[in-house]
Structure 1
Amino acid sequence: MAKKWIEYVVLLLILGCASKPGVEVPETVKSLENVTIHTPNAEPSRQIVLDEEVTYEDTEEVTRGIISGNVVVDSRGRVYIPDFQAKTIYVYNADGSYLDSIGREGKGPGEFQMIWRIRVADDTLHVLGYASQKISVFDLQTMKHIHDMKLSISEEMHQSPPWLDWTRKKKLSYKPIDFYVRSDGNYLVFFGDEGVGPMNNVEGRTYEVSLYDPTKKKYLKHDLLSFVWTGQTLTDQEEMTVMFRVPYKRSSRFAYSRQELIHGWTEDLLFKTCNEEGEYQRAFYHPNPEIPLNVEDALAQYQDPGKNIIRAIRNDTLPETWPAFNTIKADDEHRLWVSVFTDDPKIYKWWMLDAENGELLTRFEWPREKRIEVIKSGKLYTRERDKETGLEEIVRYDIKM
């Protein structure tokens, strides 16, 4: 009887929120089980101050090229920065001094052709190569290579994925494009095709998630999860060029926190959580802060747009509003950091949410050009461009709340 009474109260709260003037909760949200629907214009419970502390930049020992993929930080506060040109990962101590490098260019064990994604798990660094379709693992105490694992998929496999046939018919080449290290050491491997050849194969693409056992070096399951592909493509018909990750296009976003995968589609501030087995757990939703979109604001997202970008955006049918959000990041305190669009095309408003129920903890405005990479151990790390040299640097800020 008590359980039914609690369910009745929760239903009343949901319906009450949905019935408030000016608040429309999508049916897809209301139909979810175990969903928390927050009221609009919620006020944060905390204030935040970010104090700049350390810059990780070129030193006498190393001159970096373009940063590729993502940046990670280990439990000692050491920072790992992949270099696109040098095909290596530079390691910095917490104080900003240069420590070492990991890997080098090549096709052999522990060598890279294209560093795509890196992750830290305990005292190991895991590096995904896009061209080689392998993960290389390194010991972070010695910085030495441990082993490699091939992740490529073929029809000859004992257990091929169910999506392999239809993706090949659409002339798609699904490859590992992202991964997370589970608590048991297995990988959640994300497959997709980030390239666009013929434009008629853009629609219907997905992200497919498989489970890989690095000790047995084989896939355990291929149909763990499936998500809508970003679809963030824009074509300049005059020069037949394709642009990717167009800021105003809707897309899938992911974060991983405490053995849970969090997914959001940028159309709404709705975030769904699955456990490591791919089973839905819960969701939370905030009403969208709708920000009108115009051509000039869309162009302002590009630092120096070429004539093909300008022409393609001006010829595109733009949505009436920006997406509900742009990026999600999970920190090590089970909080979700969400960048929300504002009226100023150069500013994001970042929301910090409790990853358990979506409660708004704090929010702050932040320049879009200072891209937030990592939040860990009370520190926030950004990718920023030095105004004098034009080179990208990683900057650490202390979080005070």
Structure 2
Amino acid sequence: MRIERWSVLLLFIPLLAIFGCTSEQEIEVPKAVKSLENVTVHPPDTEPAGEILLEEEITYEDIEEVTRGRISGNVAVDSRGRVYIPDFQAKVVHAYNADGSYLDSIGREGKGPGEFQMIRTIRVADDTLHVLDYTFQKISVFDLQTMKHIHDMQLSISEDMHQSPPWLDWTRKKKLNYKPLDFYVRSDGNYLIFFGDMAISSVDNVSGRTYEVSLYDPIEKVYLKHDLLSFAWTGQTLIDQSRKGMTVMFRVPHKRGSRFAYTGSELIHGWTEEILIKIYDEEGEYKRAFYHRDPDIPLAVEDALAHYKDSGENVVRAIRNDTLPETWPAFDALKLDDEGRVWISTFTRDPHTSQWWVLDGADGTLLARFDWPRKKQIEQVKNGKLYTRETDEETGLQKIIRYDIKIK
């Protein structure tokens, strides 16, 4: 078995202050932070105090009986350590035992109950798997004891609904078709449904897009509330028009966007412009926030292009024609582990390396920082394990790799 060890510096620091109890001369903070109540501001340039070892354990990949297609959406892990991987080509969810052996496939391609066309998001809640199909705008639920289908829920929105959302009118006027993009299962079994439009038909209807959060009751199969929360959406989208047509790029690293996570009782949101993490309760009420100073990594055109190695001339032209910000975003990815800690990836001067920060979910205290290859995308941190999505350089096939986390 191949072993990789990555040294990670662990830092435990005392809480500096709740903003309002410290002077602006001590720490300069942006206006967005000053306007908030109950926000914790942390000191910059703190020093590490420990070490973490990440030891590669298990690879979840193709076997003789199953050839997996491209992974679609996210990867989920249950309390037993079983791993669930959505397959874009086969339109099923592959289930693996904790030891890496193949367990079963869940669902199948089709238009009926428990069948998929485009898997967007999967979530594990207790002993059930919930699968959001973007094409059919539905969630299918499966029993993880038997791997059998339980029921489907239709999530689409229309004008003749008993309670139509307040954003429906203006989105239709902008020729937007808001659909469910993501969801979380609340502690009471209800769903937080995130609506938005991922399609790009013209440059004119990109600005002003949002994520709209609604509350859905899966028992009664009705929406309970539509205006729970609203967040900015850019999709990190870059659009370039030329005589050769329009080039649209999603999740462009140097663009800003919203990131989310859910603890089971609290919704966590960050806008990547700065390391300002806000926490909301299940009813959409703001509770608290924490802030760390932006690393301020300078951005040049060649730095942006380094993230698109071997891309076509359209991509290169789009980035060169874009108006680049002076710096990279404050952070990129946002993850949450099962102990309530927030993991965020920040940019470094090396375009191939991220620096991950591990933060206490209660007040944002910095617990750890470590460098990690960007090509090893962290998917999940659960049960003391870290799961990454990686691509085999020889075959081009994607695989999920599990690392054991040891703290020294």
Deviation of 1:300 after TM superposition, in Å, equals 1.0
Q: Residue 43 of structure 1 contacts residue 360 of structure 1 at CA under 8 Å; is this kept in 2?
A: no
Q: Which residue matches 2:184?
A: 180
Mapped to 1, the partners of 2:390 and 2:152 lie a distance apart of 32
Q: Would you say how many aligned residue pairs link Structure 1 and Structure 2?
A: 389
Q: Which residue matches 1:249?
A: 255
Q: Residue 348 of structure 1 contacts residue 365 of structure 1 at CA under 8 Å; is this kept in 2?
A: yes
Pairing partner for 1:384 from 381, 386, 390: 390
**The 10-residue stretch of structure 1 (24-33 or 172-181) with the greater mean CA deviation from structure 2:** 24-33
Deviation of 1:236 after TM superposition, in Å, equals 2.5
Mapped to 1, the partners of 2:375 and 2:333 lie a distance apart of 13
Pairing partner for 1:273 from 271, 274, 279: 279
Q: Residue 297 of structure 2 contacts residue 349 of structure 2 at CA under 8 Å; is this kept in 1?
A: yes
Mapped to 2, the partners of 1:156 and 1:32 lie a distance apart of 38
State the AA in 2 paired with 1:370. K
**The 10-residue stretch of structure 1 (151-160 or 229-238) with the greater mean CA deviation from structure 2:** 229-238
Alignment deviations for residues 293-338 of structure 1 (CA, whole Å, 9 cap, x no partner): 0111101112421110100101111000000000100000000000
Deviation of 1:388 after TM superposition, in Å, equals 1.9
Mapping of residues 147-296 of structure 1, within 5 Å: 147-238=151-242, 239-296=245-302
Instruction: Please report the TM-score for the alignment, with normalisation by the length of structure 2.
Output: 0.94
Pairing partner for 1:14 from 5, 9, 22: 22
Amino-acid identity (%): 72
1:351 aligns with 2:357: yes
Q: Residue 53 of structure 1 contacts residue 395 of structure 1 at CA under 8 Å; is this kept in 2?
A: yes
Structure 1 spans left out of the alignment, 5+ residues: 1-8
Pairing partner for 1:342 from 336, 345, 348: 348
Deviation of 1:11 after TM superposition, in Å, equals 5.6
Structure 2 spans left out of the alignment, 5+ residues: 1-16
Q: Residue 19 of structure 2 contacts residue 41 of structure 2 at CA under 8 Å; is this kept in 1?
A: no
Mapped to 2, the partners of 1:124 and 1:37 lie a distance apart of 39
Q: Residue 88 of structure 1 contacts residue 102 of structure 1 at CA under 8 Å; is this kept in 2?
A: yes
**Cα RMSD (Å):** 1.1
Q: Residue 217 of structure 2 contacts residue 224 of structure 2 at CA under 8 Å; is this kept in 1?
A: yes
Deviation of 1:241 after TM superposition, in Å, equals 1.9
Q: Which residue matches 1:96?
A: 100
1:361 aligns with 2:367: yes
Q: Residue 247 of structure 2 contacts residue 315 of structure 2 at CA under 8 Å; is this kept in 1?
A: no
Pairing partner for 2:37 from 18, 27, 33: 33
Instruction: Please report the TM-score for the alignment, with normalisation by the length of structure 1.
Output: 0.95
Query: Structure 1 residues 213 and 10 mapped into 2: Cα distance closer, same or farther (>3 Å)?
Result: closer
Alignment deviations for residues 332-380 of structure 1 (CA, whole Å, 9 cap, x no partner): 0000000000000000000000010000001100000000000000000
Q: Which residue matches 1:328?
A: 334
**The 10-residue stretch of structure 1 (314-323 or 38-47) with the greater mean CA deviation from structure 2:** 38-47
